[in-house]
């Protein structure tokens, strides 16, 4: 074998090796797209989720801050309206925040006193509620806790607990205090007695969310 033939064979062998190497090489995986990271320093109550720590300025005893860790969260649907709440324990009390988008404005209601009221506590009857539901008249009102409470709405509400896809339902009535600073929510679940809770209107700017 002459030197030219040997050189040619070596060149062809090198080319064959390079071709085979390319064929069996695993293509590099494309880099995963890097999306914008959420700024944890600027979380709002609208971002709140399970595990977050929440502090409400001046909402505790003697105007101290009220702090709790979110251990439950619900989604609500009533017609086209959708909203959510987050709740946790503050001392021995369970407190919750209901977060709604009302006409492109964030509205937060705080159920902070842990009270569960009955219709007897409110001084209204099941028949009173049925009549208000039928009339749907925002002039209807009743007196409770030294204030007049005005009817706002009543409707069927679907609720989804802690991210579950299977929901439950209740019929709810909503009233607003004459000052506009407190809300009264009355709920009736099938097979259960009526229950009611009072919420205060909160400024979203007074609520700080910390994510561990």
Listed residue (170, 172, 195, 199) closest to 184, CA to CA: 199
In a domain, residue 142? The reply is yes
Query: 19-36 burial, b if ≥16 CB within 10 A, otherwise e?
Result: eeeeeeeeeeeeeeeeee
Q: How far apart are CA 122 and CA 115, in angstroms?
A: 12
What is the predicted pLDDT for the residue at 121? 98
In a domain, 50, yes or no: yes
* Domain membership flag for residue 4: no
Please check whether residue 81 lies inside any domain of the structure: yes
Could you tell me if residue 186 is inside a domain? yes
User: Token pair 């009102």 is at which residue?
Assistant: 141
Angle (CA) 168-171-176 rounded to 5° is 125
Taking only the tens of pLDDT, the chain with its 212 residues reads 555 554 544 544 555 556 545 554 544 444 444 545 667 778 999 999 999 999 999 999 999 999 999 999 999 999 999 999 999 999 999 999 999 998 889 999 999 999 999 999 999 999 999 999 999 999 999 999 999 999 999 999 999 998 888 889 999 999 999 999 999 999 999 999 999 999 999 999 999 999 99
Domain that holds residue 46: 40-210
- On the CB side of 45, CA atoms within 13 Å amount to 29
CB proximity list for 202: less than 8 A, separation 6 or greater:
56, 59, 97, 108, 109, 110
Counting the structural domains of the chain, the total is: 1
Is position 30 within any domain?
no
Q: CB of 195 within 8 A of CB of 44? A: no
Name the CA radius of gyration of the chain, rounded: 30
Closest CA to 107 of 44, 23, 31: 44
- Strands 81-90 and 93-102: what pairing? antiparallel
Residue 44 resides in a domain: yes
């Amino acid at each position: 074998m002459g030197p030219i033939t040997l050189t040619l064979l070596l060149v062809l062998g090198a080319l064959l090796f390079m071709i085979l190497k390319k064929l069996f090489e695993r293509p590099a995986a494309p880099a995963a797209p890097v999306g914008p990271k959420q700024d944890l320093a600027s979380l709002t109550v609208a971002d709140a989720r399970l595990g977050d720590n929440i502090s409400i300025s001046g909402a505790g005893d003697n105007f101290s801050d009220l702090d709790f860790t979110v251990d439950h969260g619900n989604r609500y649907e009533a017609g086209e309206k959708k909203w959510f709440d987050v709740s946790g324990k503050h001392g021995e009390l369970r407190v919750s925040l209901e977060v709604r988008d009302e006409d492109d404005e964030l509205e937060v209601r705080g159920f902070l006193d842990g009270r569960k009221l009955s219709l007897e506590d409110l001084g209204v009857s099941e028949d009173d509620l049925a009549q208000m539901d039928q009339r749907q008249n925002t002039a209807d009102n009743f007196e409770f806790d030294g204030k007049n409470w005005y009817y706002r709405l009543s409707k069927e509400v679907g609720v989804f607990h802690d991210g579950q896809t299977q929901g439950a339902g209740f019929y709810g009535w909503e009233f607003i205090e004459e000052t506009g600073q407190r809300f009264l929510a009355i709920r009736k679940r099938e097979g259960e007695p009526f229950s009611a809770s009072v919420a205060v209107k909160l400024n979203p700017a007074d609520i700080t969310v910390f994510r561990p």
